[in-house]
Amino acid sequence: SPLIPLFQAMESEISAAFDSGEPEDILSRAFKLTVTREDICTLQPLGWLNDRIMNFYMGLLVERSKKEGYPAVYAFNTFFYSKLSSTSHRGVKKWTKGVDIFEHDVILVPIHLRIHWTLLVVDLREKTIKYFDSLGQKGDHICKTVLKYLEEESREKRNIELTASEWTLHSMGTEEIPQQNNGSDCGVFVCKFADFISRDKPIIFTPEHMPYFRRKMVWEIIHQQLL
């Protein structure tokens, strides 16, 4: 198959990203972020994904969403929610300077809960806020915090009142989305939840896909291109 040499080339490139050179070597630069070998190494089996990897991957999803046939995606960075929850809208209103988030279809909010990654997704077309946790914990209070943020953002930026009662808030149950089977894959789950959602695709992967997704993400980040 003509794909085999391609995969072999990709594999050797991925291995080289992990194994050759210095931790501070820069392997990718985009979205005002630099990704070093040390960052990339968090994608090794059972590594904990760091903020740089998460934010870079969200950048790739947003970039892809500009192509025809994809929903328009806006992604907040991983520091947004902790800032919002500690300060309210006032503390983050400058984060959307020059951007109308309401012109998008989907808003991704990756969330760092001390030692765990989760994802909140606002679908502006459906007026839904959904919380995705690969350990099955509920995030109803997180959904409410973000709805309140949207109300204030809409009032301040567009002078439009959102009707909270029109919105559906929902924490995804363990039977609705795949769950991690170890203590370290939460970041990869968040990236792949976001990947499938930002293509309007049903979430059909399993924990068994994680080693493959990790390697694929190395290639995608280095090449700044989603496969």
Active site residue 116: yes
Backbone angles phi, psi at 136, to 5 degrees: 75, 15
Which residues touch 131 (CB under 8 Å, ≥6 apart)? 118, 119, 120, 121, 138, 139, 140, 142, 143, 170, 171, 172
186 is a catalytic site residue: yes
Q: Which of 39, 112, 143, 186 is catalytic?
A: 186
The residue annotated as part of the active site, out of 39, 133, 185, 195, is 133
Phi/psi of residue 110, each to 5°? -70, 135
Is 200 catalytic? The answer is no
Q: Which amino acid is at 50?
A: N
Q: Which of 116, 123, 170, 209 is catalytic?
A: 116
Q: Long-range contacts made by residues 58-66, C-beta under 8 angstroms, separation at least 24? A: 58/108, 58/110, 58/191, 58/194, 59/30, 59/31, 59/33, 60/220, 60/221, 60/224, 60/225, 60/226, 61/108, 61/194, 61/195, 61/198, 61/226, 63/224, 64/198, 64/226, 65/106, 65/198
- Report, as residue numbers or ranges, the catalytic residues: 116, 133, 186
